[in-house]
Structure 1
Amino acid sequence: MKMVDIKGKKYVVLSEIVDAVSTESVEGKNFINNLPGIFLLTNVSKRNKKNGGIYLSCLVRDKKISMDSRIWDWKGDIPESGQIVVADYSYDQNFGLALNLVRGKISVSEALKREDLIDVLDVLIPKVDVENLKKELERLVDTISNDKLKKLLRILFFGDEEFSKLFFKSPAASTNHHVRIGGLLEHSVRLAKMCEAIAEFFEGFVDKDLLISGSLIHDIGKVYSYNFEDLSFEMTNEGLLEDHIVIGIKLLTKAIQKIDEFPKEFEELLTHIVVSHHGLKEWGSPVPPKTLEAIIIHNLDRLEAQADAYIETLKNTPNDRSWSSYIPMLGSSVFISRKLNDEKIDE
């Protein structure tokens, strides 16, 4: 059983709680050896109780999974997104996980300053294997045969230390998919590999260099769209005011200006991929995809994100359930195969 030890006191993490709910009948509070839990809070919002007063709706996390939760009681200031909390917990089949914060809370920035909490952060922070993904990104860039496009990608991802640092750490979203450190890198590399594979089916009709380049660039504006240093994963003012598409166009234009005689047509086509990758105006794109490369990227982008949302839901759903909770990105709950659920991989 995975537990966290802080100065001799033991706490359980969310994945252990979900495993317990999946394998046995649980009741009462702190049903795992009567030990309290330790959680990373995100997406905290106030809600009104029917009988008056407020409670908090939130997403609780450890490095493996996340789960919607309600916080009914707390002491002191209202807890915020990006805080680590120690809490009593209980689970109800109808209402899910409930927390009572009776043992204090600490921000991630403060936790980073304490040696006794470094191991705690390693257990709680959702993140990907950034180093291997960086190697895959380098491989993808090296496949580009067009010198101008290859230079553009190298300027963007390896030529600007500030941008590179942000791109390799940023989540791809605050909810729905790839909400983890390195999630944007993971999403972009996966999408590019999917584009690399599908290009052969449209050989002679699709520009493979443009397709892979566009897939890597399409979400670059997200590096300034989310707060992740404090692990709140909430949107920044810049992200809320401009959106990642507008920010992405600014970054793309700035990088292109560093390249002598960059082809105007490539600039227009890459810009179109960025502005159209959400597909519809109601989904955030001012124009629909109008080139084959843009059409492929839009559809594979959505496929990859939806698949990630499903996989994360699979991990987070107790084994005694065949249907998940509602998934906003899919517009539905989803069926979870008993066989698949029994074979969930312990990452």
Structure 2
Amino acid sequence: MLYIQEMHEGMKVAGIYLCKSRTAAVTKNGKNYDNVILMDKTGTIDAKIWEPDSAGIEEFDALEYVDVVGDVTKYNGNLQMSLKRARKAREGEYDPKEYLPTSDKNTEDMYKALLTFVDKVENPYLHKLLEKYFREDAAFAYRFKTASAAKTVHHSFIGGLLQHTLYVTNLCYYFTKYYPILNRDLLLTAAICHDIGKTVEISAFPENDYTDDGQLLGHIMIGAEMIHDTAKEIPGFPKKLESDLKHCILAHHGEYEFGSPKKPALAEALALNLADNADARLEFITELFKANMQKPDSEWFGFNRLLESNFRKTGDLNAL
């Protein structure tokens, strides 16, 4: 199987891919065509069907596996595929595991590691809140284990939310060992819960897209509401403690322009923002390096608009 990550301009492709979406469109000249997004476990590629009524294009819908033939081109700096033939693949012709991006870390091992941090929280109210989500709510635990941390950018794979949360929590725990001004129980709870709203914001794979609540509210607001609702179920949960925890969640993106409705006003909120940003950016760079493994002759990866820099490799990409 030729993975999307391995494709390059000028390549002719024949293979089976998962259709993430298919929408009809019209050119400026009034000609009908279809926009298609194909995916496998290594990524996605934009595809076009310029002749949707041609004999080589059979019926298929979004979230179906499609056997395609096409040419890889480049448009506005991004790879694109022009589909010449397409048909719905038959069962047995594909392995679903090849089409859904998954963390290379073991999910159950990561979840057990996260629970060790739950056990480190001594405050009875915060500990009970964590228990209600991560040990007592099986449906939530399943969503949390299988969710991605983003639609794109970083940790956009099955298990991504869990992996990101575990790494952020590890960083926050490290902070508490060296900076005694930090309230360990508050920071660990905030780290573990900072992205719980993403279990509602983003739909499950293979869609991995924003839900209605994700579009209207966003994971930060959803997460704060989840904390409020659960705190109400715990008798005697201190109002000040609830506000401190919600503030950490509301401020964890750090700046208004990055989606935070509040800037950090607690040391724990600032520490969480630093840990969240560090893991998100380093994972993004890791994925950037992986995407460039097919370019062994080039040390420089090209200008990245998100990072506003051209990155150069400094080690062995095969070690990733």
Equivalent residue for 2:188, pick from 205, 209, 212: 212
Alignment of 1:232-311 (within 5 A): 232-311=207-286
> What amino acid sits opposite 1:263 in the alignment?
P
Q: 2-side partners of 1:155 and 1:103: how far apart?
A: 48
Alignment of 1:122-141 (within 5 A): 122-128=97-103, 129-141=106-118
Contact 1:43 1:234 survives alignment (8 Å): no
Q: 2-side partners of 1:50 and 1:336: how far apart?
A: 40
1:96 partner SS:
strand
Q: 1-side partners of 2:23 and 2:301: how far apart?
A: 22
CA 1:283–1:202: 2 relative to 1, 3 Å: same
1:70 partner SS:
strand
Contact 1:323 1:333 survives alignment (8 Å): no
Q: What residue in structure 2 maps to residue 39 of structure 1?
A: 17
CA 1:28–1:173: 2 relative to 1, 3 Å: closer
CA 1:104–1:300: 2 relative to 1, 3 Å: same
CA 1:47–1:289: 2 relative to 1, 3 Å: farther
Q: 2-side partners of 1:212 and 1:43: how far apart?
A: 38
Q: Deviations over 1:26-66 (max 9, x none)?
A: 85513xxxxx22223447677775766446374x4433x22
1:127 partner SS:
coil
Contact 1:47 1:57 survives alignment (8 Å): no
- Shift in Å, 1:135: 0.8
Equivalent residue for 2:151, pick from 174, 186, 194: 174
Alignment of 1:216-231 (within 5 A): 216-229=192-205, 231=206
Normalised TM-score (structure 1): 0.78
CA 1:308–1:57: 2 relative to 1, 3 Å: farther
Q: 2-side partners of 1:42 and 1:315: how far apart?
A: 22
Normalised TM-score (structure 2): 0.84
- Shift in Å, 1:67: 4.6
Could you tell which deviates more after superposition, 96-105 or 259-268? Answer: 96-105
Could you tell which deviates more after superposition, 141-150 or 213-222? Answer: 141-150
2:161 partner SS:
helix
Q: 1-side partners of 2:11 and 2:192: how far apart?
A: 48
Q: 2-side partners of 1:326 and 1:120: how far apart?
A: 35
Q: 2-side partners of 1:302 and 1:48: how far apart?
A: 40
CA 1:162–1:71: 2 relative to 1, 3 Å: same
Greater relative contact order structure (CA < 8 Å, 6+ sep): 1
- Shift in Å, 1:282: 2.3
- Shift in Å, 1:267: 0.5
Contact 2:60 2:88 survives alignment (8 Å): no
Contact 2:25 2:35 survives alignment (8 Å): yes
Contact 1:40 1:84 survives alignment (8 Å): yes
Q: What residue in structure 2 maps to residue 9 of structure 1?
A: none
Q: 2-side partners of 1:44 and 1:195: how far apart?
A: 42
Q: 1-side partners of 2:252 and 2:298: how far apart?
A: 35
Percent identity of the aligned residues? 26
> What amino acid sits opposite 1:39 in the alignment?
Y
Q: What residue in structure 2 maps to residue 33 of structure 1?
A: none
Q: What residue in structure 1 maps to residue 12 of structure 2?
A: 29
- Shift in Å, 1:150: 1.4
Could you tell which deviates more after superposition, 300-309 or 84-93? Answer: 84-93
2:216 partner SS:
helix
2:320 pairs with 1:343: no
Number of equivalent positions: 308
1:172 partner SS:
coil
Q: 2-side partners of 1:52 and 1:323: how far apart?
A: 41
Q: 2-side partners of 1:47 and 1:335: how far apart?
A: 36
Point out where structure 1 has 5 or more consecutive residues left out of the alignment.
4-11, 31-35
Q: 2-side partners of 1:101 and 1:237: how far apart?
A: 35
